[in-house]
Amino acid sequence: MPGIAHIEIAQFLKQHHLAQSLTISEIQTLAEYVTHAQFHMDQVIAEWGTLGEALFFCVKGEMAIVHHTADGDEVEVVRVRDGEMAGEMSFFDRQPRSARILAKSDDTQVLVLTRARYQRLKVEKPYITVNILEQAIISLDHLFRNLSQDYTDFSTYIYGKGKR
């Protein structure tokens, strides 16, 4: 595996909350299904409008989820840090990506799980995919909570406390 050894991927996965309920053997199995990719600052990891054919797990650095506004500007929605997942919405709903995923550090490293490998993993090791789904739910929950708080803060700023 170029760039990072299989053992390093397994080491990362052991520390990742995705793998908390997996055995060492299952972690090593999962490591066989992912690949490693490295990105530079502001390099596109996944493009807006494309179909999500992969999930991304941040190993090192940060990723930003960036949304296009109606007037063509880009707004950062959330930062994805070490141990977190990105790209799950389009991956699971098979709709075009509603945001761009950018590397936000000079040495952003991610583990990539493609749809084809996920499908294989789902058949061969369903217990591991259940853990990935649980992690996706947690990731989306964090995103929703952050956006809800931002909306509440903005609404309070615009309309005042307790008014709408």
Decide the pairing of beta strands 108-114 and 54-60.
Answer: antiparallel
What's the pLDDT score for residue 6?
58
Domain ranges of the chain: 36-159
With contact defined as beta carbons under 8 Å apart, do 39 and 108 qualify?
A: yes
CA dist 150 and 49 (Å) reads 25
Whether residue 4 has pLDDT greater than 70:
no
What pTM did the predictor assign? 0.78
Q: How many CB atoms lie within 10 A of CB 114?
A: 15
What's the pLDDT score for residue 47?
95
With contact defined as beta carbons under 8 Å apart, do 52 and 87 qualify?
A: yes
> Quick one: average pLDDT of 21-32?
82
CA dist 63 and 37 (Å) reads 13
Domain 36-159 has CATH 2.60.120.10: yes
pLDDT range class, residue 25, cuts 50, 70, 90: confident
pLDDT range class, residue 5, cuts 50, 70, 90: low
